[in-house]
């Protein structure tokens, strides 16, 4: 596997008074070269039972540009490698921490030893350097270690062969209960669907609210945009889509001339307050110039185009209807009568 081409250089694990390595991280080895990584090795537990998984962790901290290699096939007899993984973390200042976690197990009880592992790393000049870890002692206990004289149990006595068997009755009862439960669930589901079918759908959001929200998000990205042409493309699409949704026609596939002609046909005269058709036509033509003539706008031009787009939306948004006068009150607010 490609991710295991990178590996860590190991140092000797610390030993106890009996000369065996314990399960705690070993002391940092003094690097022999300036580009050599500093490594530690540890095993998660120094005592386990037969077949238990042990995690052998190898951590290497060194320059990020210094590659190390851990062989893919390692002879760990009497242990067997079950799995491995690699975790990398950039520590900053050009340092990289690589931690190799090998899952190993053995099926032989007694005082066992994880053998030394040879790893290599590459120096700055491309030379191949190697190092070997010291073995780590592990105690493996038997699954029957608590039995002083393990032996087979005595043969069990005779059991009756003919007896009442209610297995099929239990199965039939379970199937019947499951069928009733499924029928009840289907009935409830159909009732819920029928209620949901009569529930009115929520009204769609007004087109001007959607457009102003999109324009606000687009304007927030203006200061960080290096190339302003995509900004103008998206701005034009927002206004085109808004005009089509506001006046009920498909506007995204129309040219500027077709869109303006459709607006002149569909926009009623009472909707023209503050809305200058010539300004819309000129604004769309300016966007087309950026889109098709590949003209790069300046920051001031892009900001001006955004402000004009907001003004177009504000000028064409629906206005609330004035409240009707109360019965018996004329337009001036006076009550009828003498």
- DSSP annotation of 271: G
Name the token pair of 338: 């003498």
Residue 159 lies in a domain: no
What is the number of other CB atoms lying within 10 angstroms of the CB of residue 231? Answer: 21
Question: Quick one: pLDDT at residue 117?
Answer: 80
Range of the domain at 28: 2-141
Is the domain of 6 the same as that of 137? yes
Residue 183 lies in a domain: no
Q: What is the pLDDT of residues 21-80, one digit of tens each?
A: 444 444 344 445 767 777 778 899 889 888 898 898 877 787 887 777 777 888 888 898
Question: Quick one: pLDDT at residue 178?
Answer: 93
- The residue whose two tokens read 């001031």 is 300
Question: Which whole-number Å values give the CA distances from 150 to 105, 142, 147, in the listed order?
Answer: 24, 12, 5
Q: Using the 3D structure, point to which of 126, 141, 156 is the last residue of a domain.
A: 141
Say which residues have a Cβ less than 8 Å from residue 313's Cβ, sequence separation at least 6: 208, 211, 212, 215, 239, 242
pLDDT band of residue 151 (cuts 50, 70, 90) is low
pTM assigned to the model: 0.39
* 19 or 207, greater pLDDT: 207
Is the domain of 128 the same as that of 213? no
Question: Quick one: pLDDT at residue 1?
Answer: 40
- Helix orientation angle between 207-220 and 229-246, rounded to the nearest 10 degrees: 170
Question: Quick one: pLDDT at residue 10?
Answer: 37
Question: Quick one: pLDDT at residue 332?
Answer: 52
Q: How many residues does the chain have?
A: 338
Q: What are phi and psi of 120, to 5 degrees?
A: -130, 155
- Residues linked to residue 55 through DSSP beta bridges, in sequence order: 103
Cis peptide before 129 (omega within 30 of 0): no
Residue 336 lies in a domain: no
Is the domain of 9 the same as that of 136? yes
User: Which range is most confident: 193-197, 207-211, 318-322?
Assistant: 207-211
Total domain count for the chain?
A: 2
Q: What is the pLDDT of residues 96-145, one digit of tens each?
A: 888 889 899 988 888 988 888 877 777 777 788 777 778 899 999 887 75
Is the domain of 12 the same as that of 112? yes
pLDDT band of residue 214 (cuts 50, 70, 90) is very high
Is the domain of 135 the same as that of 246? no
Question: Which whole-number Å values give the CA distances from 6 to 96, 137, 172, in the listed order?
Answer: 12, 26, 60
Residue 322 lies in a domain: no
Residue 151 lies in a domain: no
Residue 325 lies in a domain: no
Q: Using the 3D structure, point to which of 141, 167, 189 is the last residue of a domain.
A: 141
Nearest C-alpha neighbor of 78 from the set 45, 47, 42, 50: 50
* 6 or 166, greater pLDDT: 166
Nearest C-alpha neighbor of 290 from the set 239, 234, 338, 240: 234
The CA distance from 56 to 222, in Å, is 52
Nearest C-alpha neighbor of 43 from the set 29, 61, 19, 59: 59
Q: What are phi and psi of 122, to 5 degrees?
A: -105, 130
Say which residues have a Cβ less than 8 Å from residue 189's Cβ, sequence separation at least 6: none
- DSSP annotation of 72: S
Q: What's 39's domain CATH number?
A: 2.60.40.10
The answer to whether 61 and 38 are in contact (CB under 8 A) is yes
Residue 258 lies in a domain: yes
Residue 233 lies in a domain: yes
The CA distance from 60 to 71, in Å, is 15
Q: What are phi and psi of 214, to 5 degrees?
A: -65, -35
pLDDT band of residue 307 (cuts 50, 70, 90) is very high
User: Which range is most confident: 147-156, 173-182, 194-203?
Assistant: 173-182
């Amino acid at each position: 596997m490609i991710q295991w081409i990178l590996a860590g250089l190991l140092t000797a694990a610390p030993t106890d008074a009996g000369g065996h390595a314990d399960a705690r991280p070993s002391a940092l080895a003094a690097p022999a070269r300036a580009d050599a990584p500093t490594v530690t090795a540890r095993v998660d537990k120094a005592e386990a039972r037969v077949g238990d998984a042990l995690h052998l962790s190898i951590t290497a901290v060194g320059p990020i540009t210094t590659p190390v290699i851990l062989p893919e096939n390692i002879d760990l007899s009497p242990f067997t490698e079950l799995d491995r993984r690699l975790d990398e973390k950039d520590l900053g200042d050009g340092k990289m921490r690589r931690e190799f976690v090998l899952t190993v197990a053995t099926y032989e009880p007694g005082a066992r030893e994880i053998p030394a592992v040879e790893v290599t790393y590459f120096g700055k000049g491309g030379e191949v350097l190697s190092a070997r870890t010291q073995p780590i002692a592990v105690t493996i206990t038997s699954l029957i270690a608590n039995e002083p004289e393990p032996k087979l149990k005595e043969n069990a006595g005779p059991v009756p062969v003919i007896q009442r068997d209610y297995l099929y009755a239990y199965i039939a009862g379970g199937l019947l209960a499951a069928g009733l439960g499924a029928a009840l669930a289907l009935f409830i589901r159909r009732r819920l669907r029928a209620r949901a079918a009569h529930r009115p759908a929520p009204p769609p959001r007004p087109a001007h609210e959607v457009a102003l929200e999109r324009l606000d998000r687009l304007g927030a990205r203006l200061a960080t945009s290096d190339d302003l042409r995509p900004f103008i493309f998206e701005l034009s699409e927002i206004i085109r889509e808004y005009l089509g949704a506001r006046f009920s026609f498909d506007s995204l596939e129309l040219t500027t001339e077709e869109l303006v002609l459709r607006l002149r046909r569909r926009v009623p005269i009472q909707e023209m307050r503050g809305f200058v058709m010539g300004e819309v036509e000129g604004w769309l033509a300016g966007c087309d110039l950026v889109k098709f003539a590949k003209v790069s706008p300046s920051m001031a031009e892009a900001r001006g185009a955004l402000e004009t787009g907001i003004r177009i939306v504000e000028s064409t948004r629906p206005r609330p209807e004035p409240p009707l006068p109360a019965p018996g009150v004329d337009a001036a607010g006076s009550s009828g009568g003498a």
